Structure 1
Amino acid sequence: MIRVLIADDEPMIRAGARAILGSDPEIEVVAEAGDGREAVALAREHRPDVALLDIRMPGVDGLTAAEELRRSVPETAVAMLTTFGEDEYVARALAAGTSGFLLKAADPRDLVAGVRAVAGGAAYLSPRVARRIIGEVSAGRLTRGAVARERIADLTPREREVLALVGAGLSNAEISRRLFLVEGTVKSYVSAILARLQVRNRVQAAIVAYEAGLVDDAGG
């Protein structure tokens, strides 16, 4: 069972997210919060697998809460609820160790898929969100693309394949099926890639993959 905490200052958003996630028998919403301070307190109490945080909340916002959760409840993965108008907050969210970015207006299936991916240790970054993130985070795109290509230069061809699929948002299980590898081998590849790229998590690795142009090569 995947245990989820939802934090949003709008009760209707919380109710909608709870209803969508409740449609999956393997997901349980264990707590709801109306601001970041309450979210952190409830996460400490319930120790959820995933904290789903609105970026903008009164008082303590989702970004501050994400940073505190990384320090005090590191076993809880964080996914941010966002809109296209809030891309300027993404750089800070990445630094806070956020594992996913979910659009409030997205298909309900995306919310379930995102929570499942994040709970499983994967990143969840839809192509639409990823491209907007790159546009905001990557000032001087050509320069950053060159830097990213240099960063991946020492990866083996197989590691580049795995990184491309991480960038496309695939979980370890999906990558193992795509590349006909044992899932444990994929985990080893991912760990090695994170270490060699010197990034904290799969979202940051996905950014490198996009900047280096690997994701378009990964196919559908």
Structure 2
Amino acid sequence: MRWGTMTTKAKATVVVVVAAAIWVGGVGSAGALVGVVVSSTSASVPSVTAAARPLLHSAAPTPSGVSTDSAVPTPSQTVTASPTPTPEIVVTMVSERTPVPFARTTVEDSTVPKGESHVTTAGVDGAKTTFYRVTTVDGVETKRQQVREELNRAPVAEVTTIGTYVAPAPAAQEPSVPQGHALITPGAFCADAENGVVAQAANGRSYTCGGHGPDANGHLHWNTM
């Protein structure tokens, strides 16, 4: 397309593009751009404008010390805080079965010899169930409160018998009277050979020869035992 054949609107567009090229790239760039516009016979004005656009961008100098990345504004980022988790609180009923220890007691028995003892009733533990209200926070137990207690089995007390019987001492036995000895007279003399011999008198009582030892003259008598 020749300059003379351009419309007024096309000429105005070319003038604007050339002016921009001069401001950005200098006179040389503007001359090259005019040559392209004048010699082109088939390109339209929008095509010329499109061809000049990369020249404008490539010829634009970057100011010293200025980063091209910082020249482009970066959209601000919005930081959203994480929501605080709500603790999980759970209340449950828990039961525990535990033994009840049996008691121990003793009884005395006068028929059992003293010093002896034995278990007459064996002790047996009982059992009870305790119910608790348990509170947990995120699975961790934080509180335990006793609600009630049930006795499942009563304990049986252990009974031990202790003997108290003491056997009486055996009675003293009187010396036996020799068979065939004649009745004696209490207090009468007796022979030295009969010293210690026990004999009976007519009154039915027993006497010992020399029971009190010899008298002043050295004689023995039938004395009471």
Tell me whether the two structures share a fold, i.e. TM-score over 0.5.
Answer: no
Q: Which has the larger radius of gyration?
A: 2
More strand by share: 2
More helix by share: 1
Greater relative CO (CA pairs within 8 A, separation 6+): 1
TM-score (norm 1): 0.16
TM-score (norm 2): 0.16
